[in-house]
């Protein structure tokens, strides 16, 4: 039953991703120019001449002389085989461009998410169980502040005060001397020392909204009759809370896991630019600006794949955790 469900979901992923990829490709094709024209124009503006023979070669190699449909299928076919195309800007395969930064991105995002959860859960539970108390109002206010202040602004503020007060440069993910160095004990230490600031900044908003969501969901569940039943049995308050309402409010949290997967890889673009982090965020931004289409397109499609897989993981986890979904699947009227 569950196995068939998973299989069906995987099969549905194929058309979903095909449509997504077609959309991505169309959007990439929409501007009247392409990378080469932008490149030639840029060169001309600087009074230099672009290497036309090389451009002609690349154009032929990547099929820019052929109709877009053909190019689309060429791209997809290679993508499936693990060849994500060639970045014109960096003059190397997309995989190598992204690969270096991916590990760092995942590290930053993973720590951010972990921090979000560790901070948000206790606060959310406290806020919900002490609704309308001063602590609840205070925590709500701080949380809203975290949501309302844009990350990049927070980053700028941090950088400014770190510099003014401590004379520190907090940008980057490691000391500049370790850039492009192979991994070593010292480099790892340097990364860890730099890590906490981006994690704090990027996590601020996420924590705020997470607290709001946990509070709202838990408040809903606290009104439910089964919680009264649990208390009527004589369960101690904390156990009654964790076994029933908290357990039920986890459904929202689990369905949220699906969104986490692409977020891990994408990195917060703007904050990363401001803090000059060596993550994938700034890379994607630059690729979109310069119409480096294979880099941008493949990266976006990769994110789409992760989204779809993330949602599938959420749904399977939900089915495991909630017997209503497991046992009544599909029998909604």
Partner 1 sequence: MEQPGAADVLRIENLRISFTLHGQPNEVVKGVSLRVPAGRTVALVGESGSGKTVISQAVMGLLPRNGFITEGQILFADPAKPGKLVDLASLDRDGRKMRRLRGGRIGMVFQEPMSSLSPVHTIGNQIEEALQLHRPHPRREARAVTERMLDLVGFRDPHRSYDQYSFELSGGLRQRAMLAMALICRPALLIADEPTTALDVTIQAQVLKLMKDLQQEIGMAILLITHDLGVVANMADEVVVAYRGQVMEAGTAEDIFRRPQHPYLKALLKASPDFDMKPGERLVALRDIAPVLPREFARRADEIPARVTELIRPAAPPVLLSVRNLRKTYGGKKGAGVVAVDDVSFDVLRGQCLGLVGESGSGKSTVGHMIMRSRSADSGSIIVNDAAGPIDVRALEGAALRAFRPRMQMIFQDPVSSLSPRMTVLDIIREPMIIQGAGTDAEQKRRAVELMECVGLDPRFLSRYPHSFSGGQRQRIGIARAIALNPELIICDEPVSALDVSVQAQVLNLLKDLQASLGLTYLFVSHNLAVVHYMAARIAVMARGRIVEIGPRDAIFERAAHPYTQALLKAVPLPDLDRRLDFATCVPSASMSDPANWPETFRGGAPGQLAMVDLGGGHLVLADPACTLRDLTAA
**Could you tell me the smallest distance in angstroms from the CB atom of residue 11 to partner 1?**
20
Number of residues near partner 1 (by CB under 8 A): 25
Distances (CA, A) of 92 to 30, 99, 294: 24, 12, 11
Whole-number Å distance between alpha carbons of 176 and 262 = 28
82 or 323: CB nearest partner 1: 323
2 binds partner 1 (CB under 8 A): no
244 binds partner 1 (CB under 8 A): yes
Q: Which of residues 248-267 bind partner 1 (CB under 8 A)?
A: 248
Strands annotated E in 28-108: 86-87, 92-93
Q: At what angle do helices 68-80 and 2-29 cross, to 10 degrees?
A: 140
333 binds partner 1 (CB under 8 A): yes
Whole-number Å distance between alpha carbons of 209 and 71 = 41
Q: Which of 23, 27, 135, 228 binds partner 1 (CB under 8 A)?
A: 228
Q: Which stretch binds partner 1 (CB under 8 A): 76-84, 110-118, 185-193, 236-244?
A: 236-244
232 binds partner 1 (CB under 8 A): yes
331 binds partner 1 (CB under 8 A): yes
Count CB neighbours of 306 within 10 A.
18
Whole-number Å distance between alpha carbons of 95 and 84 = 6
Q: Which stretch binds partner 1 (CB under 8 A): 37-45, 115-123, 178-186, 224-232?
A: 224-232
Whole-number Å distance between alpha carbons of 245 and 231 = 12
247 binds partner 1 (CB under 8 A): yes
Show the binding pattern over residues 42-71: x = contacts partner 1 (CB under 8 A), - = does not.
Answer: ------------------------------
Task: Give the chain's radius of gyration (CA, Å).
Answer: 24
Mapped onto helix, strand or coil, the DSSP state of residue 30 is coil
Contact 140, 299 (CB under 8 A): no
**Could you tell me the smallest distance in angstroms from the CB atom of residue 127 to partner 1?**
15
Largest CA distance in the chain: 83
Contact 227, 275 (CB under 8 A): no
Whole-number Å distance between alpha carbons of 6 and 10 = 6
8 or 243: CB nearest partner 1: 243
Q: Which stretch binds partner 1 (CB under 8 A): 17-25, 178-186, 232-240, 269-277?
A: 232-240
Q: Which of 54, 60, 66, 324 binds partner 1 (CB under 8 A)?
A: 324
Show the binding pattern over residues 166-205: x = contacts partner 1 (CB under 8 A), - = does not.
Answer: ----------------------------------------
169 or 328: CB nearest partner 1: 328
Contact 107, 263 (CB under 8 A): no
Residues that bind partner 1 (CB under 8 A): 224-226, 228-237, 243-244, 247-248, 321-324, 327-328, 331, 333
């Amino acid at each position: 039953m569950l196995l068939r469900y998973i299989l069906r979901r995987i099969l549905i992923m194929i058309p979903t991703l095909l449509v997504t990829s077609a959309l991505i490709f169309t959007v990439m094709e929409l501007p009247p120019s392409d990378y080469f024209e932008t490149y030639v124009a840029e060169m001309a503006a600087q009074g230099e001449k672009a290497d036309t023979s090389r451009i002609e070669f690349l154009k032929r190699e990547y099929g820019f002389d052929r109709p877009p449909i053909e190019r689309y299928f060429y791209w997809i076919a290679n993508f499936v085989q693990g060849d994500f195309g060639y970045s014109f800007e960096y003059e190397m395969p997309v995989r190598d461009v992204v690969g270096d930064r991916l590990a760092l991105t995942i590290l930053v995002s993973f720590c951010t998410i972990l921090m979000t959860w560790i901070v948000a859960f206790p606060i959310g539970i406290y806020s919900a169980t002490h609704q309308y108390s001063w602590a609840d109002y205070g925590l709500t206010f701080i949380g809203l502040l975290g949501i309302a202040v844009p990350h990049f602004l927070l980053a700028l503020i941090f950088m400014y005060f770190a510099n003014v007060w401590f004379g520190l440069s907090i940008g980057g993910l490691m000391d500049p001397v370790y850039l492009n160095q192979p991994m070593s004990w010292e480099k790892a230490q340097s990364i860890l020392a730099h890590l906490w600031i981006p994690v704090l900044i990027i996590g601020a908003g996420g924590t705020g909204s997470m607290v709001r969501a946990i509070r709202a969901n838990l408040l809903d569940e606290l009104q439910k009759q089964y919680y009264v039943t649990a208390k009527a049995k004589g369960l101690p308050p904390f156990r009654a809370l964790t076994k029933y309402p908290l357990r039920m409010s986890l459904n929202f949290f689990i369905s949220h896991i699906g969104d986490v997967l692409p977020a891990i890889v994408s990195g917060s673009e703007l904050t990363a630019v401001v803090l000059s982090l060596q993550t994938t965020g700034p890379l994607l931004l630059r690729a979109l600006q310069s119409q480096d289409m294979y880099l941008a397109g493949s990266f976006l499609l990769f994110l789409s794949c992760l989204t779809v897989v993330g949602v599938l993981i959420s749904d399977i986890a939900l089915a495991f955790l909630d017997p209503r979904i497991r046992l009544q699947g599909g029998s909604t009227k």
